[in-house]
């Protein structure tokens, strides 16, 4: 199983983004897992104007439903999961904004993913440990 973070999802949905074609191909291969957290970040980015364009909320929702959830399964992190992730934070050097990337990795581990694709692989280096999913950048 392969997990995708929000950077891959956003690139897959927005053709003007770097690595869009590679990200879309990875998403469309099927058998993918995305965290509810990644869906939230994707929606936020698409509707927030961070990109050179801003999507209407209804349009962002439709893209998430039609282009992501039609080919990928979603995994949720509940309170017990979050507390487990937070309990590992100090030992892994996770703090501040790195928490958001760490939750992608934690969800990928929970799903049993062997690989996690991201456009921000350097963000994961500090807290990745042996036994975690391999962190990959699309080529």
Confidence (pLDDT) at 79: 97
Mean pLDDT rounded to a whole number for the chain: 93
| Domain count of the fold of the chain | 1
Predicted confidence (pLDDT) per residue in 91-102, tens digit: 999 999 999 999
Confidence (pLDDT) at 108: 96
Confidence of residue 109 (pLDDT cuts 50, 70, 90): very high
Q: Which residues pair with 136 in a beta bridge?
A: 117
Confidence (pLDDT) at 132: 94
Confidence (pLDDT) at 37: 92
Confidence of residue 30 (pLDDT cuts 50, 70, 90): confident
Predicted confidence (pLDDT) per residue in 56-91, tens digit: 999 999 999 999 999 999 999 999 999 999 999 999
Sequence-separated (6 or more) residues with CB below 8 Å from residue 8: 23, 26, 27, 117, 118, 119, 138
Q: Rounded to whole angstroms, how far apart are CA atoms 66 and 69?
A: 6
- Give the pTM: 0.93
Q: What is the CATH number of the domain that holds 46?
A: 3.40.50.1010
Structure tokens given for 3: 């997990």
- Report which DSSP code applies to 68: I
Task: Starting at the earlier edge strand, list the strands of the sheet with 115-117.
Answer: 72-75, 32-35, 2-4, 115-117, 134-136
Structure tokens given for 79: 């309170």
Q: Which domain holds residue 39?
A: 2-136
Confidence (pLDDT) at 53: 79
Tell me the residue ranges of DSSP E strands in 1-139: 2-4, 32-35, 72-75, 115-117, 134-136
Q: Rounded to whole angstroms, how far apart are CA atoms 33 and 95?
A: 25
Query: Which one of 15-19, 20-24, 48-52 scores highest in mean pLDDT?
Result: 20-24
């Amino acid at each position: 199983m392969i997990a995708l973070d929000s950077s891959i999802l956003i690139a897959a949905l927005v053709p003007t983004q770097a690595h869009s074609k590679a990200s879309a191909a990875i998403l469309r291969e099927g058998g993918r897992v995305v965290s509810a957290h990644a869906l939230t970040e994707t929606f936020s980015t698409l509707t927030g104007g961070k990109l050179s364009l801003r999507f209407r909320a209804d349009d962002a929702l439709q893209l998430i439903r039609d282009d992501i959830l039609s080919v990928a399964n979603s995994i949720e992190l509940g309170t017990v999961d979050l507390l487990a992730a937070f309990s590992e934070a100090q030992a892994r050097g996770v703090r501040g904004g790195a928490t958001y990337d760490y939750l992608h990795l934690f969800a990928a581990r929970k799903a049993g993913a062997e690989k996690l694709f991201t456009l921000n692989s350097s963000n994961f280096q500090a807290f990745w440990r042996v036994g975690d999913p391999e962190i990959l950048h699309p080529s």
